[in-house]
Amino acid sequence: MTAAPAEGSALRHPAEVAALADEVGRQVRALHALKAQLARGQSEVERAMHLVLFHLADAGPLRVSALAERLGTDPSTTSRQTGELVKRGLLERLPDPDDGRASLLAVTDEGHEVVAAMKERRHERLARAVEGFTREELVCFTALLARFADGLEQARLDSLRPAPPHAQEIA
């Protein structure tokens, strides 16, 4: 049913994909352990809200629905989290000029300060994790990781809307 993978494409290399999968699994476990450890220490913001704050800081003002879609969470969850961040003064709600029902969530000055402080601590931890990397390896890894993250995101979106090409016979 699916077309043959292009010459040189990753799909032609199942063994290499399997090796990558093992390492991604190890990385997921390492990140999980790190997260658990960080959650025990105190922080300005609870763990789950980091994602919200960082994404808005990266992407600029968004509506609740758009934010939820990008984070892969339910709008109800996103609503509660952003409400809490508004209460703490890290986010503000701007009226959406196009739609009276919605508002745009924007990071406040104080929110940007918190993000900057958290990023700094994150850089310190990360610098220790890549201590043995040369500059070239660092740059190469970053570029490949960017493509990988894009691919993950794209694969997720594709599986949510399973009807792009022409014919589809899912359910």
Partner DNA sequence: TATTGTTATACTCTATAACTATA
Partner DNA sequence: TATAGTTATAGAGTATAACAATA
Give kind and range of the element (H or E) at residue 92: strand 91-95
Q: Looking up tokens 């201590």, which residue turns up?
A: 131
- State the binding partner of 117 from DNA, a second copy, none, CB within 5 to 8 A by kind: none
Tokens of 70: 């990008």
CA proximity to 70, closest of 170, 164, 152: 152
Report the amino acid identity of residue 163: A
Give me the residues paired with residue 107 across strands.
91
Distance (Å, whole) CA 15 – CA 143:
22
Which of residues 70, 75, 92, 118 is near DNA by CB under 7 A?
75
Bridge-based pairing of strands 91-95 and 103-107 is antiparallel
Q: Is 96 in the site for DNA (CB under 7 A)?
A: yes
Q: Is 107 in the site for DNA (CB under 7 A)?
A: no
Which of residues 66, 71, 86, 106 is near a second copy by CB under 8 A?
71
Which of residues 27, 65, 142, 154 is near DNA by CB under 7 A?
65
Q: Which is nearer to a second copy, 13 or 99 (CB)?
A: 13
In angstroms, what is the minimal distance from the CB of 28 to DNA? Answer: 12
Q: Which is nearer to a second copy, 96 or 156 (CB)?
A: 156
Q: Is 74 in the site for DNA (CB under 7 A)?
A: yes
Which of residues 132, 164, 166, 167 is near a second copy by CB under 8 A?
132
Q: Is 146 in the site for a second copy (CB under 8 A)?
A: yes
Which of residues 60, 153, 162, 168 is near a second copy by CB under 8 A?
153
Residues in Cβ contact with 78 at an 8 Å cutoff, skipping those fewer than 6 apart: 52, 64, 67, 68, 71
Give me the residues paired with residue 106 across strands.
92
Distance (Å, whole) CA 75 – CA 78:
5
Residues lying near DNA in the complex (CB under 7 A) are found at 32, 36, 39-40, 46-49, 63-66, 72-77, 79-83, 93, 96, 99-103, 171
